[in-house]
Amino acid sequence: MSRIAERFTALHQTGEGALVVFVTAGDPNPEWSEKLVLTIAEAGADIIEIGVPFSDPLADGPTIQSSTFRALQQGVTPVSVLEMIARVRSRSDVPLVVMTYFNPVWQMGVERFAREASEAGVDGVIMTDMPPDEAGDWHPVARRYGLDTIFLIAPTSTPERMRLVAQMSSGFVYCVSRTGVTGAREHLPEEVPQMLQAMRQLTRLPLCVGFGISRPEHVQAVCRIAEGAVVGSAVVSLIAQEVEKGEQAVLLAVRRFVRDLKEAARAK
């Protein structure tokens, strides 16, 4: 059983929702980034998504695009991200998922990326721009190296796309709450329950909802209808807001916010 599957099994036994937290690797700088991942794990996140900085982050909104730009300016690369993950893995058992686009993986080499990700302690990979019907170069390699591949569905996904996602996903299914790019929003879209209901007819994998989830009340509402909630832009924005106060202020603010989010996931 993978580390991700083990976490969902444990959460099911305790009746908790999963809190999945996204951060961009190397933001606000490589040194703090590693400490942030460990802090998020200590604060209660069940799974951490680590974004690989990429020059054309088409699925990301302004908040994550800015964090990606900051990381790229400091020379963060896919290789250095995996090196950071290896250091984190030596100190934490929290499931780690790399979130990236296919281009950086292709440039590094699909086989090499999968091998080095597995060796670093990565548990799963999300390639935002890779639908299941175009995953032929990646999917068998990922399986060979024991990496879960987490595909995405959206409210606009066709029944055929949802069936493919159900057949090819492992770990969990990432359910995008709305069309468009990432970013915090005031309210959850009304079509989310219908999308989840349709997906449950096709798979028994955990369903996690992301895009626009930014507050504890959002996490609580999502965890009542799904196995987990993904929070990204709100955390990245908090890091940017606190950065001028120094490293300890950033770590403390993120720790408190993640604790509040996790408490909401427990109290679903």
Q: Tell me, yes or no, if 60 is annotated catalytic.
A: yes
Q: Of 176, 242, 187, which Cα lies nearest the Cα of 211?
A: 176
The whole-angstrom separation of Cα 134 and Cα 216 is 35
Angstrom distances, CA of residue 220 to CA of 20, 188, 198: 13, 11, 21
Instruction: Give yes or no: 46 in active site.
Output: no
Q: Which of 46, 60, 227, 242 is catalytic?
A: 60
Contact 11, 3 (CB under 8 A): no
The DSSP 8-state label assigned to residue 145 in this structure reads T
| DSSP, res 183 | -
Query: Buried b vs exposed e over 232-250: b needs ≥16 C-beta within 10 Å?
Result: bbbbbbbbbebbeeeeeeb
Tokens of 268: 């679903």
State the catalytic residue, choosing from 34, 46, 49, 242: 49
* Cα 264 to Cα 237: distance, rounded to the nearest angstrom: 20
Looking at the annotation, which residues are catalytic?
49, 60
